Structure 1
């Protein structure tokens, strides 16, 4: 699987990613990858403390919680009440609205999430917009079989994961109060209408 088919500059912006590795494996190893990045950041205008790195040009409002293994890149903005955990990387120029929760995810440049979003175990491309209240679910709480499968080129692929959210291609638009099932794969310039439930494997 070539991630650059979904996110054009992914290997340029994230050179530490193993090529040909599927997104669910990348996300499952994200905390380890971020730990390896911290020693390289202090010389690049990041303030690093307790496994949290914030670029000097980023704005983090009062009331934001950043758990260990979080990297906030240049010119990012995070509004009050947001909560980051289990490894989060905002590459650059990302805007996160008030009271969002982001877990174990990468968000690439010029993307934004409005207030009250949940983004779980996901890889989000460049210039993606998530309207208020959209949910990127990462776990099948309601199923006995919790293994996540994805639909790729018309084929169902086993991820062998019980936690994986979405891969969202560049320039996509996710409508307010929509829900993306675990394992959702969206190509570049996808549009999800407001209030839509995306379930690619029935």
Structure 2
């Protein structure tokens, strides 16, 4: 059976700015991306059906017999068993999966399949809002940890100056280095990826995951429920936040209840507010609505899209959304919604022109032995044109 992850349009809009540059299933929540979760559970390669501008980077593999799975749904063992039977399933008015021939894919009608689908009576986890990424991260770390460490042997902490609590809940991949740190996994697992490095004086509390080749810098305080994706460098104070990968917050400063995309950099002493002074619910920018939406959450920090950067001493207000390839700097609090390709801060914005954005992205990606190829440039170019409507200073 061939498995394809498909997107629900309203969920895709609700997960912006992260879905401007990736399919929903490439979002990292827990240890793995949603696609990686399905591949691990199904023991099979899984591809995407996404928007036209992303199809070249994320091509769909089609076969005579296919199962289409809602890419906002995270797998669990019971759900996987039900899906492998080939039936169409739904949950609370949302289509979970449906079978389709190769010819049917182009004319796939979710509404029709929803009517035909059987109600799934088990529990499911869905990522349909941007804040779900950090809100459900702890539970997904636990779930992923159980799956990817089952039957495997961990490397051990050999450093005599590192203190470990709840050692049975810690899994360390080959090549990882831990020096004079404190690891507390009593309240949740800690996963350390291949060749990852935890530097002197770092304090880490689980649930926590750091992926391959990432660094937790000296003296960092990681309060738990957090994920650091591959090739990241993170320092300072971090609480219930997710870094997708290839991003840096190398210095002191606080980030909490936040999500940071790929190829981002937070300057020294950047701080994010995650709680309003009046303790009211946090509102986040809704791209589909073109206005702010009540999250129902008391704690919510920063949502930063790919390739965005901020200068030293940047102060982000509670519930700030930053688009793709924005560059924020200067004193004071910038506004709560910063569109893609914005250049500036509280004093005002101009447009970060595409040529300049490419120049920065090329230099940043070279540092991780990656290339800003034509496919990546096409994705950013398409988004630059589409995001003009958000750039209020151009009107």
TM-score, normalised on structure 1?
0.87
Structure 1 residue 56 corresponds to structure 2 residue 176: no
2:226 maps to which residue?
Answer: 88
Structure 1 residue 167 corresponds to structure 2 residue 303: yes
Q: Which has the higher strand share?
A: 1
User: Alignment partner for residue 179 of structure 1, among 315, 324, 339?
Assistant: 315
Structure 1 residue 31 corresponds to structure 2 residue 161: no
> Which residues of 2 match residues 1-202 of structure 1 at below 5 A?
1-3=14-16, 4-8=18-22, 11-12=25-26, 13=28, 14-15=33-34, 18=73, 21-42=128-149, 49=170, 50=185, 51-97=189-235, 100-140=236-276, 142-143=277-278, 145-153=279-287, 154-200=290-336
Q: How many residues align?
A: 197
Give the whole-Å Cα distance in 1 for the aligned partners of 2:237 and 2:221. 5
Q: How far does residue 41 in structure 1 lie from its aligned partner after superposition? A: 3.1
CA shift in 2, pair 1:45/1:112, >3 Å: farther
Q: Note the residue ranges of structure 2 that are not aligned, 5 or more in a row.
A: 1-13, 38-71, 74-125, 156-168, 171-184, 338-395
Give the whole-Å Cα distance in 1 for the aligned partners of 2:258 and 2:140. 15
Give the whole-Å Cα distance in 2 for the aligned partners of 1:175 and 1:150. 22
Structure with larger RCO (C-alpha < 8 A, sep 6+): 1
Q: Which has the higher helix share?
A: 2
Q: Note the residue ranges of structure 1 that are not aligned, 5 or more in a row.
A: none
CA shift in 2, pair 1:30/1:199, >3 Å: same
**Contact 1:177 / 1:196 at 8 angstroms: preserved in 2?**
no
SS in 1 for 2:131: helix
